[in-house]
Chains A and B, each alone.
Chain A
């Protein structure tokens, strides 16, 4: 009502400024964004500190933020935690890269050729629902408790997902671009290498980024069982010692590494496929 009665633009401006915070879809500035994002982290730690330091929770079950930081420091200085981190990262990337090398070409073939898709798709869809963690006992039987087993868990968890998502991306290529390429003299090979693959590339990269995130959750499960190194192994060890500070520190490290790798992946994608975000 106020806005209708307002005689000029000058009178309208303050009314808008007041309601801005509550207006749906109203963008916020970059600084506000950062501040709000960090704000929740701070609030979270504050509540955690209040509960633990205030004596509401027994230190046996939940360490305080300070204990957590102290334990974390000890992990690096006394327990060679950097080695565990290195092992975990190696396993994730080993399994993930192995899965990508096999899954991306297969997914492209399935997306491009309907016969190949009809052959593989039902089986891959079935395998996608098999939980990677349920394979751990079997993989231990087959491959022992060494690195092969860890890498295979990641591989099984990632490969089927990547195949299906890549196939869908490639199969969803714009038909009018394919037709245009045909009328420009492209052959079947040209259609795949010069239209389907470059057109699907940003989508494929996005799929890989997503699946890498999932691979992080599989690796910890793999390391919780029958392992002698890695972040997951450290967490199981700490559980036996009731050291909740170390457990939480391990979880936070996993989150941080995931965040950083995601950020790097996003930056690379943006750079490689600048055209798709114009």
Chain B
């Protein structure tokens, strides 16, 4: 059964004085159970808008998004989200941040602790329970944000360029960490990025977005074996995919620039 189904979703923005901008052309798209799908596209192509519609943070102008057959009405704990900006609550410790959703649900303190300990270990943050977000590096903050979203046990994990603000070395380590989590926990993941390597390395499907107004230009399967090691990035299969995606994206980036 298909888990996430996007049916004819489009989005137009009012830009004032009766003018309207089309950010997203009608998109039809399916994400299956346990899929890791990356949405690859140039900046400003509307890929984040699509993700925010799935999260329920924005309403589509036409169409609808269905999760397990139920239409998305607004944001909810069944769709965990990790943002590009650092969105940890600065007044809460790392452990309290991870427990935010659990506490909202009224989970007992003992169970909360058990869960936050588990996910903190999973993202390599054991020992930082009582630190505040500002005392942590950007990479550690995003790891906490991933743990916070996972602790809620969502049906689908939505990530909006979560590693975009990190330096290259950290970014690569974070990709391996997230992929490792996915390989062991098999969550459904929808990951927005403009980085081609990132899109291929983690995904089993890459959806390439056109320049604004955005639409899905091609949907490419990534059949690289799991578990994936960073060395896979130099394999011929990876290079072939990269060459192909580079061509696709290049045309769009040029279109977006003109």
Contacts and interface: CB of A to CB of B under 8 A. Distances in A.
A183 B135 contact: no
B79 A183 contact: yes
Contacts of B149: 183-184
A43 B85 CA distance: 51
Interface string A179-194: 1111111110010001
Interface string B213-242: 000000000000000000000000000000
Contacts of A187: 104
In the complex, which range does the number of interface residues on chain A fall in?
Answer: 20 to 34
Contact of B89 (A179, A195, A201): A195
B80 interface: yes
A179 B75 contact: yes
B83 A185 contact: no
The residue in B74, B87, B132 that gathers the most chain A C-beta atoms within 10 A of its C-beta is B87
Nearest to B76: A185
A100 B83 CA distance: 36
Nearest to B77: A185
The residue in A179, A185, A198 that gathers the most chain B C-beta atoms within 10 A of its C-beta is A185
A184 B149 CA distance: 7
Interface of A is mostly: helix
Contacts of B74: 182
Contacts of B80: 183-184
Interface string A237-278: 000000000000000000000000000000000000101101
30 contacts: A177-B89, A179-B57, A180-B83, A181-B100, A182-B57, A182-B75, A183-B55, A183-B57, A183-B75, A183-B77, A183-B80, A183-B158, A184-B77, A184-B80, A184-B100, A184-B149, A185-B76, A185-B101, A185-B105, A185-B152, A186-B100, A186-B101, A194-B104, A201-B91, A273-B91, A275-B90, A275-B132, A278-B132, A278-B134, A278-B135
Given A177-B89, A184-B104, 10 more contacts: A180-B81, A183-B56, A183-B158, A184-B100, A185-B76, A186-B104, A187-B104, A195-B89, A201-B91, A278-B135
Interface of A: 176-177, 179-187, 190, 194-195, 198-199, 201, 273, 275-276, 278
Interface of B: 55-57, 74-77, 79-81, 83, 85, 87, 89-92, 100-101, 104-105, 132, 134-135, 145, 148-149, 152, 158
